[in-house]
Structure 1
Amino acid sequence: MKPTRRETLMLALGSAGLALPANTAARASSSPASDCGAPSMSWQRGIEGQRKADLGDGRFRNPALAGDRPDPNILKDGEDYYATFSSFNYYPGVPIWHSRDLVNWTPLTAALTRNIGIVWALDIAKHDGRYFIYIPALDPADKARPVKTWVIHADSMRGPWSDPIDLKFDGLIDPGHVVGEDGKRYLFFNGGNRAPLSDDGLSAAGPVTHVYDGWPIPEDWVIEGFALEGPKLLRKQGWFYMFSGQGGTAGPPTSHMVVVARSRSVHGPWENCPHNPIVRTQSVGEPWWSRGHATPVQGPKGDWWLIYHGYENGYRTLGRQMLLEPMEWSADGWPRALGGDLSRPMAKPVPASTGTSGQALSGFGADMFRPRLSYYAPRRGYLERAELKSDMLFLAGQGTGPADSSPLLFVAGDRSYEVTVEVEIQSKAQGGLLLFYNEKLFCGLGLSDGRFHAYRIGQVERWPPGGAISGRRRFLRLLNQDNVVTFFHSADGVRWTKERSFEVAGYNHNVADGFLSLRPGIFASGEGRVAFRALTYRAADASQ
């Protein structure tokens, strides 16, 4: 009898030197995992088997955009929708994605190449035919002004984007742009603060003032903290509406929420919605945790939607993923969310598909940095570290190991996946394959001349230590199976030796802070260069 995919996988994982099948990212369980009470069903599969939201029958299933898409901000521009996200320590930063239906998204570019620090929740605006992105960033090296607000601008969302301009707003995050009833431009910030902008949107035009106190959260609610942040402003039928996040963006699953206030004037006073919060995770049994930081947006047919982020139950390692929920306006002029706990498929904003969704994660190419691959905490001149020749990427060594090497990473949005790459060492360099959260929390395999090195919890694994191998060239593979990752190496890319396995569910923000995600990637450290070929990504099979 022919063995099942699961049996084949288990044999490969349990034995050294056995050939792995071409796509080993099948689930380790023969039955689908429960989706927290949701109906048992699969996602649709797109490029490289990656899960996608569009079910192909006029419905979609969250996440609208899988993987780490924190603090999503959406701009409707005619028939086009643009999304961008917090990019934190990753550069090139400020990734921009495009859609025509709010469900199928494709990448356009990464708007920020200059390292201005750790980029937090930002805001896109269009004014007088020009595009603006307002960017808060933390620069730990600047003791006098560690948190600044910057702006970049362009004639097209595709760029080219200007160099960042310092707006001289200090200590504030999460800007939200709006034009007041007086025709003047303003930025709202965390903590209920507001400041006027110049007419060109490129400088401050007055002091910061406090205008809103937030919604009073009941004392017995289990939350991370008050954390009034992420204001997104909308003007509709004589009202200014402010959608904000409260409760903390991680911590307990019931922390984050969406609250709404409105005013006849951009200057206030602001009245809280009588049925706040309009979105909140109610229990740990729901499929999506810490739902919040919403942007309201009008759909292609004139109806209304909320786009926000949330953690997938059991998969905090994937980061905060982008979620889509229908909303309506009640007779008294307040918004109401209609998606429940998002456990079930819902009707798409438009029934028909509007093109491809997602992007290929395999291979190297001229466009690999915009916005597929990104360096973690890069130093000056980071883009010059990479040289592309045909199908081979040469990466100059930096630092002494993975922690300070600024590894080159990408966003994975699947619960289970495998990544394979060929590595060849030059001079006294070390290179390898990682699952990387931050410089203190990663695991993987590194290769140097005649030896491999194993890493776990951000350290060299000593029990057992790495071993000797022949030569400077090796194929490396990782299989992340529902937060259990196994690493393999091979001399020929055909017959594989299992090295070791790690449980990585704890490699997330609630353990390590930073609001990041666990990302696969490659690294080069030491003196010399490392050549990488044949980077391949394959998602889990279509049963999940």
Structure 2
Amino acid sequence: MAHTRRHAMTFALGAGGLVLSAQFPALAASTVDRRGPWKRGQDGQRHADLGDGRYLNPVIPGDHPDPTVLKDGADYYATFASYEYYPGLVIWHSRDLVNWTPVGPALHRPMGSVFAPELVRHGGRYFIYFAALPPQSAGGEWHRGFSVYVIHAEAIGKPWSEPVHLGLEGRYDPGHVVGEDGKRYLFLDDGYRVPLSDDGLAVAGPVRRVHGGWPIPDDMINEGFSLDGPKLIRRDGWFYLFSAQGGIAGPANGQMVVVARSKSIDGPWENSPHNPLVRADARDDPWWSRGHATPVEGPDGRWWIIYSAFEKDLRSQGRPTVLEPITWAADGWPRAMGGILAEPMAKPADLPGAPNGHALAGPFRADDFGARLAFFRPRADYMSRVLLADGALTLKARGKGPGDSSPIAMIPGDRRYELTIGIEVEQGAEAGLLLFYNDALFCGLATDGTILRRYKLGKPMVYPALNLEVGGRIFVRMLFKDDIAQFFVSRDGKAWTRVMAMEVSGYNHNMAGGFLSLRPALFAAGSGAARFSELHYDGAI
């Protein structure tokens, strides 16, 4: 997007806000850059399916971390860690492991930060096991605040139960398996295991440590040992345990997938001589911090692992979901076949016309909440803040500013994108468009109907300041490209002025914790409400 010096504004010191005193100069038209190898779908969003029998990762772009995948006949279902966003545990569906569409959220009650789940079917019923970390547990020995829960349903598309508390305080990352005795068990972080009742809704015995993980060589630098994300299958008389080790906040090649096997869930567990199964080789690899892999048999009978990883140089955008083929070697151990995942690969099945993704642009709808929109760290009554009418979203204000407003965010799946929104505010309210990591780390533009405010690093920008008259409705545009965020403002949605630009690569988990991602978000704070309309998104810029 080109700008000349004549588009620049004159800055004057003001009282923490921006006030418009001149006409908006026109923006040059966006230059559409379609040089990327991905196919483009609705709203210019990238698709993994290249349309020629091949795919290119990610299969689910955007922040969809710690996937769990269930093969259910010819169907595949997946869900992901939703952390502090609600509705959460959004379930997705596929027939070929490449093209995925959202079914809807399974968890509506706010419970804190929801970590790596496990989706299973047993006895004709569906279960999602997960751990939740209450907000007050942040900081210090945060892991001690965890508890493990389960929700269940008679069908994927039917209502899910309220969470059932299993206890298991201090444990997380449950992985379900049926043992050689026909009983149900959960494996947990750090190699622990606990028996379950036959209905899967209660713990039926003590927690025991049965596996010590793979001893990471000293020359593999990582965040920590971090044995977590256990996923188990039984094959040819062996139980195979796939785990993540190394932690995601270390170097690019810190986290990895490792495998162990045993004839019994009681052990002893033998580590694969080929460990790690997958690991980034170097900083130049296209996928960093690979982990939390679920093994699954594809529709063609071949085997795959589906896991999450950061895209190179884009930690701010969280961890998309990637798909990699594996083979079972003559010694009975799995071997990964995707290399560094830089090139297209043959799809598990070629199903022309398979649906993919969901719209990010367009009118606001009642079924938006879950896949398209989600509240950050909401109270129990979060949906009472929303009024939908004529394709617009009216949001009741909450909190004193963007940080404690419980904003509504969306997950972009593109390395570059442009988003535009119309905003009207009632007296007493402040509303705007943010790039939001958490309540202490965000940037963006907001208006109270009189002045325009800028935010950077979670705080108002007080210098340099502008006087900008913004009475009535305004439009805000955000352009994200190569971790540079630009914000523009317009009276009519046609003629635009750039207000600020900043580098946001540091808005990520390695810097701020929380396992979150940088997301476009709408907020309303103060009193009254704000009306948002005409949401446009383009991922093919």
Does the CA-based 8 Å contact 2:447-2:470 persist in structure 1?
A: no
Instruction: State the shift of 1:146 in Å.
Output: 2.2
Q: Secondary structure at the match of 1:317?
A: helix
**Structure 1 partner of 2:434:** 434
Q: Secondary structure at the match of 2:366?
A: coil
Q: 1:148, 1:274 → 2: CA distance?
A: 34
**Structure 1 partner of 2:526:** 526
What are the ranges of 5 or more consecutive residues in structure 2 without an aligned counterpart?
10-23
Read off the aligned partner of 1:245 and give its amino acid letter. Answer: A
Instruction: State the shift of 1:381 in Å.
Output: 0.4
Query: 1:270-285 alignment to 2 at 5 Å?
Result: 270-285=269-284
Q: Structure 1's 495 and 214: CA in aligned 2 closer, same or farther, altered over 3 A?
A: same
Q: Structure 1's 282 and 485: CA in aligned 2 closer, same or farther, altered over 3 A?
A: same
Q: Secondary structure at the match of 2:370?
A: helix
Does the CA-based 8 Å contact 1:195-1:208 persist in structure 2?
A: yes
**Structure 2 partner of 1:38:** none
Query: 1:383-532 alignment to 2 at 5 Å?
Result: 383-465=383-465, 467-532=467-532
Does the CA-based 8 Å contact 1:397-1:526 persist in structure 2?
A: yes
Tell me the matched-pair count: 522
Q: 1:427, 1:466 → 2: CA distance?
A: 21
Q: 1:478, 1:289 → 2: CA distance?
A: 27
1:116 aligns with 2:123: no
Q: What's the CA shift string for 1:316-340, capped at 9, x where partnerless?
A: 1110110100001011111000000
Q: 1:458, 1:447 → 2: CA distance?
A: 16
1:18 aligns with 2:37: no
Q: Structure 1's 78 and 92: CA in aligned 2 closer, same or farther, altered over 3 A?
A: same
**Structure 2 partner of 1:297:** 296
**Structure 2 partner of 1:243:** 242
Does the CA-based 8 Å contact 1:104-1:354 persist in structure 2?
A: no
Does the CA-based 8 Å contact 2:115-2:173 persist in structure 1?
A: yes
Q: What's the CA shift string for 1:182-234, capped at 9, x where partnerless?
A: 11000000100000000000011011000000001001211111100000000
Read off the aligned partner of 2:498 and give its amino acid letter. Answer: K
Q: Secondary structure at the match of 1:283?
A: coil
Read off the aligned partner of 2:134 and give its amino acid letter. Answer: D
Instruction: State the shift of 1:485 in Å.
Output: 1.1
Instruction: State the shift of 1:354 in Å.
Output: 4.9
Q: What's the CA shift string for 1:348-383, capped at 9, x where partnerless?
A: 001333512111011310111032100111122011
Query: 1:124-139 alignment to 2 at 5 Å?
Result: 124-139=119-134
What are the ranges of 5 or more consecutive residues in structure 1 without an aligned counterpart?
1-5, 33-40
Does the CA-based 8 Å contact 2:3-2:28 persist in structure 1?
A: no
Q: 1:202, 1:269 → 2: CA distance?
A: 27
Instruction: State the shift of 1:467 in Å.
Output: 3.2
Q: 2:119, 2:178 → 1: CA distance?
A: 13
**Structure 2 partner of 1:35:** none
**Structure 1 partner of 2:157:** 158
Instruction: State the shift of 1:505 in Å.
Output: 1.1
Read off the aligned partner of 1:424 and give its amino acid letter. Answer: E
Q: 1:245, 1:13 → 2: CA distance?
A: 53
Q: What's the CA shift string for 1:481-531, capped at 9, x where partnerless?
A: 211111111111111121111111111111111111000021000000001
Q: Structure 1's 286 and 435: CA in aligned 2 closer, same or farther, altered over 3 A?
A: same
Q: Secondary structure at the match of 1:372?
A: coil
Instruction: State the shift of 1:140 in Å.
Output: 3.6
Q: What's the CA shift string for 1:297-318, capped at 9, x where partnerless?
A: 0000111001011110111111
**Structure 2 partner of 1:221:** 220
Instruction: State the shift of 1:26 in Å.
Output: 3.6
Q: 1:356, 1:525 → 2: CA distance?
A: 38
Pick from 69, 81, 85 the counterpart of residue 86 of structure 1: 81
**Structure 1 partner of 2:65:** 70
Does the CA-based 8 Å contact 1:303-1:328 persist in structure 2?
A: yes
Pick from 42, 57, 61 the counterpart of residue 52 of structure 2: 57
**Structure 2 partner of 1:174:** 173
**Structure 1 partner of 2:285:** 286
Instruction: State the shift of 1:144 in Å.
Output: 12
Q: 2:57, 2:144 → 1: CA distance?
A: 39
Does the CA-based 8 Å contact 1:419-1:478 persist in structure 2?
A: yes
Query: 1:312-323 alignment to 2 at 5 Å?
Result: 312-323=311-322
Q: 1:13, 1:71 → 2: CA distance?
A: 47
Q: 1:14, 1:203 → 2: CA distance?
A: 64
Q: 1:52, 1:441 → 2: CA distance?
A: 30
Q: 1:504, 1:158 → 2: CA distance?
A: 38
Read off the aligned partner of 1:192 and give its amino acid letter. Answer: G
Q: 1:383, 1:172 → 2: CA distance?
A: 30
Q: 1:146, 1:219 → 2: CA distance?
A: 31
Read off the aligned partner of 1:130 and give its amino acid letter. Answer: R
Q: Secondary structure at the match of 2:320?
A: strand
Q: What's the CA shift string for 1:64-116, capped at 9, x where partnerless?
A: 11100110110000011111100111111111111000000001101111011
Q: What's the CA shift string for 1:33-72, capped at 9, x where partnerless?
A: xxxxxxxx52111111011100000000011111001101
Does the CA-based 8 Å contact 2:111-2:134 persist in structure 1?
A: yes
Q: Secondary structure at the match of 1:258?
A: strand
Give TM-score scaled by structure 2 length.
0.94
Q: Secondary structure at the match of 2:371?
A: helix
Give TM-score scaled by structure 1 length.
0.93
Instruction: State the shift of 1:25 in Å.
Output: 6.3
Q: What's the CA shift string for 1:419-478, capped at 9, x where partnerless?
A: 111110112000100100111111100010311100011100011135331413211111
Q: Structure 1's 54 and 286: CA in aligned 2 closer, same or farther, altered over 3 A?
A: same
Read off the aligned partner of 1:359 and give its amino acid letter. Answer: H
Does the CA-based 8 Å contact 1:454-1:466 persist in structure 2?
A: no
Of stretches 142-151 and 324-333 in structure 1, the one that deviates more from structure 2 is: 142-151
Q: Structure 1's 25 and 259: CA in aligned 2 closer, same or farther, altered over 3 A?
A: farther
Q: 2:368, 2:115 → 1: CA distance?
A: 23
Does the CA-based 8 Å contact 1:25-1:538 persist in structure 2?
A: no
Pick from 96, 99, 103 the counterpart of residue 101 of structure 1: 96
Does the CA-based 8 Å contact 1:436-1:442 persist in structure 2?
A: yes
Q: 1:448, 1:396 → 2: CA distance?
A: 14
Identity %: 53
Query: 1:338-417 alignment to 2 at 5 Å?
Result: 338-362=337-361, 363-417=363-417
Q: 2:183, 2:350 → 1: CA distance?
A: 39
Q: 2:6, 2:382 → 1: CA distance?
A: 37
Read off the aligned partner of 1:473 and give its amino acid letter. Answer: R
Does the CA-based 8 Å contact 1:430-1:448 persist in structure 2?
A: yes
Instruction: State the shift of 1:19 in Å.
Output: 2.7
Instruction: State the shift of 1:13 in Å.
Output: 10
**Structure 1 partner of 2:231:** 232
Read off the aligned partner of 2:455 and give its amino acid letter. Answer: Y
Does the CA-based 8 Å contact 2:27-2:497 persist in structure 1?
A: no
Of stretches 490-499 and 322-331 in structure 1, the one that deviates more from structure 2 is: 490-499
Read off the aligned partner of 1:141 and give its amino acid letter. Answer: Q
Of stretches 350-359 and 184-193 in structure 1, the one that deviates more from structure 2 is: 350-359
Q: 2:209, 2:470 → 1: CA distance?
A: 65
Q: 1:144, 1:18 → 2: CA distance?
A: 52
